Chains A and B, each alone.
Chain A
């Protein structure tokens, strides 16, 4: 008997690295087995008519904070990976903020076990890197973390346990951590804000009675980011470390990164939708629900980030999805400094970006690069992830780029949907019609398949090092 495909998605506009073709994608054993133009269709157990919708590689989200096991009430792997699937994300890179953070192989194993039981999408972990448990870095690398993450600031008040072993609070500590990570060959991701500047500014603002939303932005000025990035680039050069600057929010920091890349340095830049689609002028109305670190910037900064998407400086757009309870956010209404920083973003990212593509603000190839290809490459998951190509995992997203719809927090799948105010009511295109992870449909027609909990697999670093950084500057 002739072999049969498990799944054939036909009549789609298929986004491959070379462009978009009209045709079909066939899946067998969880991998992409055939690409064809549709004039002839191979046998398949299941056929799906895409009706001309856009078939994209599943998104690789480089910046995710799920709260299990520390704070499952905020949102754990089951609810939040359903939200990821709803947003066209099929691979998440989970950050180490947890209690305790994964600064050792044993803690990592525990988190992998938890995620394995309930995740709908594939997941990889950053390892925690900090001065405190620096000797654990090699064991984490051997255990398969895709990268490391460290923070340059002190733990937020009341969240000390969530930040254990992931802090590089002094220059000496940072150099030590970069040295240790450099030896593993993995990327060291950093939250780049100068904590001293923030502490003194915050103190002054508080003394002046400022606790409104704008005070948050003022307390973390662009200088805090730009200076931290400058320092990181210098230190990374010294240590020979590959660094990824997380959630870059200012054109000034982007310029520094661009120049470092041009000089051939292994530097990666991430930005997030909140810095591209919101500015402080229009975010103030959301108060604590618009509180992020780094803060949402002014309009000129927001506009100033876009050219860095086009010129290849930005490697990936992570959501920084970080659910909180409304009860945690609400104290920020009266005193912005009391609210935790962060918010959800899985379900908004893809429609926002595809809308920017429709509007001509974002080239389609830059979109593909930043949501799939480059993150997968940088973190050792390529070409299994991040691309529609022969032999790649059948991680696929079918999106409707024709019909506008309104982002509605009530219809979201994240447990923290009540806090999803930032784009609530915005008209966009790019509704996700269906999402497949390794050939299995885990989300379609507005709901996730609850039986797919546990379908998500842990992804180790492939061991391959991303090739010369110059790859990424063309």
Chain B
């Protein structure tokens, strides 16, 4: 039987009138990477805060690495690494000093501290910048350090809250490589993101969140084929034309979704000769997301 690194049942978290998390169930089996996908305000960050017991649930059960939250949160946090969405490195300290501080906060025995810091530096590819002050680093380097800081104690479980938000595509790919390396070492990862591609590439299982609820969960490819079919026809044109296309497609029993400047007709692999001009492409998670939630993402 696979152990669950994270187990949430019926978790509710309200802030005044707002229900940030609304009856959430979530399973993260050990050794897997689960992606929480959703737009801003879907409840991803609140879920992350619940998992570090910085937010307390109003209802429901939370278990992390076998520990019940929030009562046994401290034990759980000893084996947990967290990368926050907002950079909170100590900017006047060097790269190495930042890691040193966290080697103490994570209670690494004195004899192992040096090796742990060295390993984190290598993982983040910052060995030659170890003496640089954080405010001298580039955005990508800072983010790599932020991740490495969460790994200094070799946690069993890592929470990555929007690990690549606000970064250049190129830098994002560097980080994906880092996260992928972590995954292949067998570390369990829960990652929140509003980048479709990120979830699709890195996650074994994706959970789509909207308004504090899980609207679908499964391996990315399965979610796509289940909900959006395999092929999509994307039709561009002026608004009047797009409205016509929607009606036409609807008449044939095909589902559509708007994407700003175009209409996507879903599941066209079965509809031969639909007689509309457009670009064929593969269905993706974004199609699933928009279909299920009616919201745009990213």
B is bound to A: no
Residues of chain B at the chain A interface (Cβ within 8 Å): none
